[in-house]
Amino acid sequence: MQKRWFWLLTLVVLLTSTQVLAQGGAPRSDDFNGFRLNDDVWTFTNPEGTASMRVVGTNTPDAWLQISVPRGNPQDIWFSGIRAPRVMQEVRNTDFEIEVKYESGVQSGQSQGILVEQDSGNWVQVYFTTSNQRTQIIAAAATNFNLNLATPNLLLEVADPGASPLWMRLTRVVNDWTVAYSLDGSEWITTPTFTQRLAAAQVGLYAGVNSFFGDSPAFTMAVDYFSVASAPVTEEDATIVDDLFPPLIVSTDPLSYDDRIIMNWVTDEQATTTIEYGVTDSFELGTIESTDFVVTHSVELPGLTPGTTYNVRLTSSDGLGNISPPEVFTVTTLDAPPTMPVINLWYGENQTFGNVGVPSNWVNIVGRAQDADAGDRIRMSYSINGNEYLPLSVGPDRRRLAGRGDFNIEIGLESLQEGQNEIIIRAEDRYENRTNVAVFINFSSRNVWGIPWTANWSDAQSVQANVQVVDGFWEVAADGVRTAEPGYRRMIAIGDLSWTDYEVLVPLTVHELVPGSATDPLVVDAEPFVGVMPRWVGYYRWDDSQPAVGPVPVGAFARYMWRSAVRQNSADGLELLDGALQLAVEDPSRISLRVGDEYFIRLRSVTSVDGSAFYSVRLWRAEDPEPTWWNVATTVPEGARTNGSIALVANRVDVSFGDIEVTSLTPQAYILQAYPNSPPECAALVLGSGVNLRTGAGPNFSVARSVTGGEQITVNGQLTGEDGFVWYRAVEDSAWVRADLVQLDVECEGLVQLD
């Protein structure tokens, strides 16, 4: 009996404990009326390390949470991942209803919202932002890093820019999500429910900034409360809280000269600070008292030696007897006085666009700004024909601005005048050193790119003599035009916006694969690929980002991708994407494109009378005869582009494009042709007493089947196996046989080299 009661009591304790843990895992409300964020509930995440967080207005009706993001690099939740500063609490995967009141309004490039996160690649976000001169509420979701911002779950215009306060409510019931908003806290507008599967692990608030026409704007999000319907905030900001916390240094941003250091830092409450400094941990050079009660601090340490590392110790006090533990920082002075920024123009100070024709809705002036001073940051802007200066984004941005200091001035054709245009580019560093460079553009919109057309690189004096550079640093090499610096989607354009139906032949040699990180989820398009994009008119402004990030719609995109360079056991191959850059069809032959060998790509682009487009793609090694079959031949439904130029794309590869040839096509004549897309087949006679066909090209693969000597099999591809021997692929079951164990028919014209 005693044992029975013991086990019953144990079961009750376990059930009770489980219930308490489950309740603790539900979202928790907070009115942010405290001298410090409640770290029993919240965790502050600061991906870029430059944002700050604090609570303000404690013991007043206006106790708020603030997250401040400085001007500069984008910090947002975007296609590249979750890079916004945020406060999050761990939760159980359960239903909830959350209401948030924002005291801050949003302008262009600013966002504030609720984030529900499963992990770094799966989340739901609901946020306020401003675009097209209207405050909007947007709901979007990511599944395995694929964010649907191009077609979000919700997008509504709700108010004028900067309107505040703003209320948001998010309700989750299993996989159904409902968003409501209010402009006065009383009248709520509920939006249609959307469905998104998510195993919620964290929920919280974020502040975002992104790069609209240049540096991202500064932004401070202010949140009055975060209230959960199951245990809501009551008597908001009514509790009197004692300040028992010392000031906390939330960010530092020292500025070094050769003879002095300016210490800049932010505390989470108003405070005075004592600064001690020296070359040793004795801080022998002296003490400076900063006696003003401020949040943003700046103190100069004078009389220092160039190229020397100093120890700086900060101790803060809030005047209520709360003194922070000393914090020590090391800062190094410059070796010499600060230098001027340097602007490098990759294609010179005199550039011509439209002299042959117009392949894009934009012209692009690309280059790199650099500064020799350690830790310096550059801001850039530009002016067109004496007009106002516009902010200019500076890389890296994980996308088109691949390198540090890269810029791409993307100018709409409507902003240029016929003839000469003057573009002034300005770079300014943290020391207020400023460099101006003038670029003179000779522009014509009246020329139409002729067809047929051939790019003859042997006679070309410059890259822009034959193509228009869209992204990246390219150079004329012995074998054509070559990527001088591989990166994200390096691109050149040929042809005219008016082109419709044509065939292009592109010689190419891939010299090296330069894949992105396989483990960093923020790397966009990590897999190397190279390809031809017909009916291209330029990037689209999906938002106000500069340069633009919207690549679609296009006609189609034929590319060869090396997935195995990033993910082991993944298949490489040729594929055709549709006008929205979604997979339309893969090459069934799995032909290989080997690094170091020269290949040809032939692509046809024609339009049918019903508005659909027909594309065919052929890839072969240059030393082999051109095949009679096509790797890919398919129709792309109506809706893709039916006109445009040709873009050659090199993503994370070092590649050369040779003498490109373009000819015009008559649509109906080519659509009626036969387009076989099966590789050539050859009969193979089994030698000796017999052979084992294996599941892969090598002796270590398992036996698929056995064939007796004298029998005949049909093969349609070859590759070199792990053992160094050539192996043939059987048509019947894709099993593999070693080449020296069979004899090909004398009429065999050659087998496709496979991946």
The candidate with the shortest Cα–Cα distance to 359, out of 558, 542, 492, is 492
Assess whether pLDDT exceeds 60 at residue 521: no
What rounded mean pLDDT belongs to the chain?
88
SS3 413: helix
Confidence band of 540 (pLDDT split at 50, 70, 90): confident
Q: What is the mean pLDDT of residues 5-24?
A: 36
Break the chain down into helix, strand, coil percent, rounded to 5. Answer: 5, 50, 45
Specify the higher pLDDT residue, 118 or 517. 118
Determine the residue type at 523. V
Does an H or E element contain 613, and which?
A: strand 613-621
Share of the chain above pLDDT 70, in %: 92
The pLDDT of 407-420, averaged and rounded, is 95
Strands (DSSP E) found in 318-361: 327-332, 342-345, 350-353
Q: Write the pLDDT tens digit of every residue in 363-396.
A: 999 999 998 886 668 999 999 999 999 989 888 8
3-state secondary structure 567-600: CCCCCCEEEEECCCCCEEEECCCCECCCCCCEEE
Instruction: For the domain covering 682-744, report its CATH number.
Output: 2.30.30.40
Q: Tokens 């001169």 map to which residue?
A: 133
| CATH class of the domain comprising 486-678 | mainly beta
DSSP state of 687: P
What DSSP designation does 233 have?
-
pLDDT at 341: 94
pLDDT in the model for residue 17 = 33
Contact 93/199 with Cβ under 8 angstroms?
A: yes
Half-sphere exposure of 706 (CA within 13 A, CB side): 5
Higher pLDDT, 236 or 565: 565
Q: Which residues contact 241 (CB under 8 A, 6 or more apart)?
A: 33, 34, 35, 58, 59
Separation between Cα atoms, residue 43 and residue 262, nearest integer Å: 30
pLDDT at position 639 over 70: no
pLDDT in tens, 71-114: 877 899 986 689 899 999 999 999 999 999 999 999 988 999 99
**Closest by Cα among 196, 181, 47 to 123:** 196
Cβ–Cβ contacts within 10 Å for residue 659, how many?
17
- The per-residue pLDDT for 674 is 64
249-332 under CATH 2.60.40.10, yes or no: yes
User: What span, in angstroms and rounded, lies between the C-alpha atoms of 717 and 750?
Assistant: 9
The domain limits of the chain are 23-228, 249-332, 486-678, 682-744
Whether pLDDT at 62 is above 90: no
Residue range 255-267: mean pLDDT, rounded: 94
196 vs 666: CA distance, rounded Å:
46
Contacts of 39 (CB under 8 A, 6+ apart): none
Question: What are the helix and strand counts (H, E) for the chain?
Answer: 2, 55
Q: What is the pTM of this model?
A: 0.71
284: tokens are 């022998």
CA contacts within 13 A on the Cβ side of 186:
1
* pLDDT tens-digit readout, 288-326: 998 999 989 999 999 999 999 999 999 999 888 889 999
The string of DSSP codes covering 614-682 is: EEEEEEEETTSPPPSS-SEEEEEPBTB-S--EEEEEEESEEEEE---EEEE--HHHHHTS----S---E
Q: Does the pLDDT value for residue 211 go beyond 60?
A: yes
Q: Taking 90 as the threshold, does the pLDDT of residue 141 lie above it? A: yes
Neighbouring C-beta atoms of residue 752, cutoff 10 Å: 23
Domain 249-332 identical in fold to domain 682-744:
no
Highest mean pLDDT among 407-416, 664-673, 732-741: 407-416
Closest to 646 measured CA to CA, from 523, 480, 467, 489 = 467
pLDDT of 11 reads 37
Q: Which backbone phi and psi does 554 adopt, to 5 degrees?
A: -125, -175
The whole-angstrom separation of Cα 490 and Cα 497 is 20
User: What radius of gyration do the chain's Cα atoms show?
Assistant: 32
Give the lowest-confidence range in 182-186, 213-217, 380-384, 499-503: 213-217
CA–CA gap between residue 642 and residue 537 (Å, rounded): 10
- Whole-number Å distance between alpha carbons of 226 and 114: 10
pLDDT tier at 13, thresholds 50, 70, 90 = very low
Question: What's the CATH class of domain 23-228?
Answer: mainly beta
Question: Rounded to the nearest 10 degrees, how much is the dihedral formed by the CA atoms of 152, 157, 159, 165?
Answer: -20
